[in-house]
């Protein structure tokens, strides 16, 4: 392979102990001899004053592709950024010099191969042309409750145009039906008025917010920066284009059938907490059966073990609403007696003070018990059975009114949400609780539909204060997505990446696997040509499409099967070389690769016959790239990625999962070459498991040793 139209500059660093372990001059010789690079330099520290040497070469125009053999690409990214040149980093510090004994010939060979691979990649990478055709800045907010109103008002305050769509005739959502909310400010002891009326007034008075009530979204097509939205407004369609979407469709009461076990539906004076709230908001609380006074009340939490599936849907809200209603029922009528039966009292944070306030009220009887309404007597009173775990016995009380927890389910994005015109389905992909899937601990807003951010109770059961925060947060994500999309740049986690998948449709067999495997639904089928079509702004640049394509027609300007293959061949095993098996490690750059770096930082000893190539995600590994490694004479290939399954760790949702399913296919290919399918191994590793890296790699090596040398070694020439 001969480079090429690029003006290569190869910079080999010998600082940080590199020079003590490796012969840097042999690396520069390779750059000159094998690649005829016009500029080859070495330094004791390119990250310090000598960065100027590189900067000058770029400024003079003698170099436009910089290859720096030094530290890991994870560090010094800001130092080694040279506008006007592409930069390729070759890791000879953490993964070579720091984890091998000084003067080790294997380490030297490893560093040389890493340099060859880096130069091969630099030679083949193209500068991406960003996709900048979608740059509409308007935000669509679906749902006019507390979360949606907050999203709309905040986006408008930041200067964006907003379209707020509400299904009902009036704004306000569920909150408008509530009497009050539990406390948000010190001393956290008394219920507060909600801010909903004020928010509605503000939204209606804001010029930048266009309110569509009595409307629903019937279709969303397109991509961030240019979603084509159809809204049915009082029955007639309205078409508009928006840049990003906040989904704040809220919650709905859980199935009432489950409340029958508590007496609801069977006994007239058993109501849900939402029904009580509405009754109280309208005026006085009376018995539904006869309008009689309510002197005693039992508030029952619906959290018995039998309701296991429902529990996630209420969060803290059910406990705190019960406390609020108890306090209000007492304030309204001081002679009233209120029982609160619960299994767990969820009063986190400062809500504890509110719990205290209820405990200090002599008319509120808090009891840890499973409660249910059993029957009614002739006078409209309800008999309640309290099965007390605390006192170890059963207790019966007669009350005028029983209130059971309503339960909150997400208003299904599938049915009441956006009607996405996406090949992968109309709804947001959801997790096991029915909420939009995301890396929900660290990155709770990163849904699998780029540019669409869920907020409020459609995302998680939450209270008013949290919904307000959530609406604001989702609006920020929408604004951010608009900013980045208009520049053709990726959003989280490969923020700013300008390259996107390009499909050589001429050679596409129309299997559409890419459209199915994309974790983000970024690829549609072109109606006219029947070939896949990428929506660049939906894409998060993981390369899962590239990894799955059976005919390898999907690539990025700077990342492709061809690039990986040429890297592998650049570090092909010389014929008859050495006794140790040669192993290619394709390591996920998010977790596995940093873990290997950390093994180096910890000065662990790693085997020298491995060659390590970072990949964006295991999902981007194509069987052809693995086959090329075997053809190039590698004895084994280790694929290192993140944990898969229910508690997946993959930043691209299911990269390692799809790779696992692809393994059969990969092994079959290797098997057809009569090489033994176990030459390819799949390994999961967490970023913190640097201590396990030496063992894992030695294990791969031991297995390769047991298999014997690859018979294809001679083919490596």
- How many Cα atoms within 13 Å fall on the side-chain side of residue 125? 23
Q: With CB under 8 A as the contact rule, which of the stretches 9-17, 203-211, 521-529, 539-547 interacts with another protein?
A: 9-17
Should residue 472 be labelled a site residue for another protein when binding is judged by CB under 8 A? yes
Work out which of 34, 361, 502, 689 binds another protein, going by CB under 8 A: 689
Should residue 605 be labelled a site residue for another protein when binding is judged by CB under 8 A? no
Q: With CB under 8 A as the contact rule, which of the stretches 211-219, 464-472, 520-528, 614-622 interacts with another protein?
A: 464-472
Work out which of 444, 451, 488, 608 binds another protein, going by CB under 8 A: 444
Q: With CB under 8 A as the contact rule, which of the stretches 129-137, 197-205, 468-476, 608-616 interacts with another protein?
A: 468-476
Q: What is the DSSP string of 559-601?
A: B-HHHHHHHHHHTPPPTT--SSPPEEEEEETTTHHHHHHHHHH
Given a contact cutoff of 8 angstroms between Cβ atoms, the answer to whether 164 and 210 are in contact is: yes
Q: What single DSSP character describes residue 101? A: -
Q: What is the DSSP string of 209-222?
A: EEEE-SEEEEEEEE
Q: How far apart are CA 515 and CA 521, in angstroms?
A: 7
Nearest CB to another protein, comparing residues 168 and 589: 589
Site for another protein in 48-87 (CB under 8 A): 48, 74-75, 77-78
Should residue 562 be labelled a site residue for another protein when binding is judged by CB under 8 A? no
- Residue 524's DSSP bridge partners are 533
Q: What single DSSP character describes residue 548? A: H
Nearest CB to another protein, comparing residues 81 and 702: 81
Instruction: Mark 331-360 with x for binding to another protein (rule: CB under 8 A) and - for no binding.
Output: -------------xxxxxxxxxx--x----
Q: Which helix (H) or strand (E) holds 697?
A: helix 693-707
Nearest CB to another protein, comparing residues 177 and 356: 356
- How many Cα atoms within 13 Å fall on the side-chain side of residue 529? 15
Work out which of 169, 205, 257, 441 binds another protein, going by CB under 8 A: 441
Site for another protein in 385-424 (CB under 8 A): 389-390, 392
Q: How far apart are CA 414 and CA 430, in angstroms?
A: 9
Q: With CB under 8 A as the contact rule, which of the stretches 40-48, 61-69, 512-520, 533-541 interacts with another protein?
A: 40-48
Nearest CB to another protein, comparing residues 127 and 157: 157
Given a contact cutoff of 8 angstroms between Cβ atoms, the answer to whether 155 and 232 are in contact is: no
In this structure, how many other beta carbons lie within 10 angstroms of the beta carbon of residue 516? 14
Q: With CB under 8 A as the contact rule, which of the stretches 15-23, 126-134, 206-214, 617-625 interacts with another protein?
A: 15-23
Site for another protein in 162-181 (CB under 8 A): none
Given a contact cutoff of 8 angstroms between Cβ atoms, the answer to whether 621 and 644 are in contact is: no
Instruction: Mark 186-205 with x for binding to another protein (rule: CB under 8 A) and - for no binding.
Output: xxx-----------------
Q: With CB under 8 A as the contact rule, which of the stretches 133-141, 273-281, 434-442, 629-637 interacts with another protein?
A: 434-442
CB of 15 to another protein, least distance (A): 6
Instruction: Mark 483-502 with x for binding to another protein (rule: CB under 8 A) and - for no binding.
Output: xx------xxx-xx------
CB of 190 to another protein, least distance (A): 14
Nearest CB to another protein, comparing residues 181 and 316: 316
Work out which of 133, 197, 256, 443 binds another protein, going by CB under 8 A: 443
Closest CA to 295 of 332, 267, 320, 340: 332
Class of residue 533 by CB neighbours under 10 A (exposed 0-12, middle 13-18, buried 19+): middle
Given a contact cutoff of 8 angstroms between Cβ atoms, the answer to whether 673 and 712 are in contact is: yes
Q: With CB under 8 A as the contact rule, which of the stretches 53-61, 134-142, 519-527, 643-651 interacts with another protein?
A: 643-651
Site for another protein in 292-331 (CB under 8 A): 308, 311-316, 319
Which own/partner contact pairs does 51-59 have at CB distance under 8 Å and 24+ positions apart? 51/79, 51/80, 53/11, 54/9, 54/11, 54/80, 54/82, 55/82, 57/9, 58/9, 58/82, 58/83, 58/84, 58/85, 59/84
Q: Which helix (H) or strand (E) holds 637?
A: strand 636-641
Work out which of 59, 158, 210, 669 binds another protein, going by CB under 8 A: 158
Nearest CB to another protein, comparing residues 316 and 622: 316
Should residue 690 be labelled a site residue for another protein when binding is judged by CB under 8 A? yes
Class of residue 421 by CB neighbours under 10 A (exposed 0-12, middle 13-18, buried 19+): middle
Nearest CB to another protein, comparing residues 208 and 705: 208
Should residue 651 be labelled a site residue for another protein when binding is judged by CB under 8 A? yes
Upstream peptide bond of 187 is cis (omega within 30 degrees of 0): yes
Should residue 207 be labelled a site residue for another protein when binding is judged by CB under 8 A? no
């Amino acid at each position: 392979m001969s480079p090429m139209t690029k003006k290569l500059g190869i910079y080999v660093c010998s600082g940080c102990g590199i020079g003590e372990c490796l012969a840097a001059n042999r690396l520069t010789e390779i750059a000159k001899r094998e690649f005829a690079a016009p500029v080859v330099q070495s330094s004791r520290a390119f990250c310090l004053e000598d960065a100027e040497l590189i900067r000058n070469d770029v400024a003079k125009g003698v170099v436009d592709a910089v290859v720096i053999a030094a530290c890991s690409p994870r560090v010094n990214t800001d130092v080694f950024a040279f506008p006007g040149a592409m930069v390729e980093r070759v890791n000879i510090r953490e993964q070579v010099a720091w984890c091998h004994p000084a003067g080790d010939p294997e380490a030297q060979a490893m560093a040389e191969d890493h340099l060859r691979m880096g130069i091969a990649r630099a030679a083949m990478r193209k500068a991406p042309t960003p996709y900048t055709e979608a740059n509409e800045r308007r935000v669509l907010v679906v749902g006019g409750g507390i979360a949606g109103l907050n999203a709309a008002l905040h986006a408008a305050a930041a200067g964006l145009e907003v379209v707020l769509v509400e299904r009902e005739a009036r704004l306000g959502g569920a909150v408008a039906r509530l009497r009050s909310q539990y406390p948000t400010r010190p001393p956290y002891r008394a219920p507060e008025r909600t801010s909903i009326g004020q928010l509605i007034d503000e939204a209606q008075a804001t010029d930048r917010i266009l309110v569509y009530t009595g409307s629903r979204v019937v279709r969303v097509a397109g991509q961030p920066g240019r979603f084509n939205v159809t809204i049915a407004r009082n029955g007639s369609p309205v078409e508009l284009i928006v840049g990003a979407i906040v989904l704040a469709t809220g919650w709905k009461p859980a199935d009432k059938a489950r409340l029958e076990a508590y007496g609801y539906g069977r006994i007239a004076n058993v109501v849900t907490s939402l029904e009580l709230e509405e009754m109280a908001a309208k005026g006085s609380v009376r018995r539904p059966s006869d309008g009689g006074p309510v002197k005693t009340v039992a508030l029952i939490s619906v959290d018995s073990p039998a309701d296991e599936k429902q529990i996630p849907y209420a969060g803290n809200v059910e406990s705190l609403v019960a406390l609020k209603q108890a306090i209000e029922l007492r304030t309204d009528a001081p002679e009233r007696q209120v029982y609160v039966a619960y299994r767990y009292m969820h009063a986190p944070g400062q809500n504890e003070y509110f719990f205290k306030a209820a405990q200090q009220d002599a008319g509120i009887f808090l009891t840890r018990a499973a409660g249910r309404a059993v029957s009614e007597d002739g006078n409209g009173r309800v008999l309640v059975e309290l099965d007390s775990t605390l006192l170890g016995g059963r207790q019966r009380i007669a009350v005028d009114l029983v209130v059971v927890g309503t339960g909150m389910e997400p208003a299904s994005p599938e049915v009441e949400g956006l009607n996405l015109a996406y090949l992968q389905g109309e709804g947001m992909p959801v997790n096991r609780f029915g909420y939009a899937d995301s890396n929900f601990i660290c990155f709770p807003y990163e849904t699998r539909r780029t540019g669409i951010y869920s907020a409020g109770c459609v995302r998680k059961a939450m209270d008013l204060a949290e919904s307000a925060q959530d609406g604001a947060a989702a609006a920020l994500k929408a604004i951010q997505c608009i900013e980045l999309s208009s520049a053709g740049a990726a959003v989280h986690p490969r923020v700013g990446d300008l390259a996107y998948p390009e499909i050589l449709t001429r050679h596409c067999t129309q299997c559409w696997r890419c459209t199915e495997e994309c974790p983000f639904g970024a690829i549609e089928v072109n109606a006219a040509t029947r070939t896949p079509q990428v929506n660049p702004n939906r894409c998060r640049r993981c390369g899962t499409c590239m990894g799955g394509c059976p005919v390898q027609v999907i690539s990025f300007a700077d990342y492709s099967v061809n690039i990986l293959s040429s890297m592998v061949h650049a570090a092909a095993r010389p014929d008859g070389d050495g006794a140790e098996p040669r192993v290619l490690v394709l390591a996920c750059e998010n977790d596995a690769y940093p873990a290997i770096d950390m093994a180096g930082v910890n000065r662990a000893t790693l085997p020298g016959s491995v060659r390590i190539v970072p990949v964006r995600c295991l999902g981007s590994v194509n069987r052809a790239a693995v086959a090329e490694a075997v053809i190039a004479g590698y004895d084994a290939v280790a694929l290192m990625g993140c944990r898969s399954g229910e508690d997946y760790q993959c930043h691209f949702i299911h990269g390692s999962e799809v790779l696992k399913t692809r393994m059969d296919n990969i092994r079959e290919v290797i098997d057809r070459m009569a090489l033994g399918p176990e030459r390819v191994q799949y390994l999961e590793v967490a970023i913190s498991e640097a201590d396990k890296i030496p063992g894992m790699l030695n294990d791969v090596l031991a297995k390769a040793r047991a298999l014997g040398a690859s018979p294809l070694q001679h083919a490596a020439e």
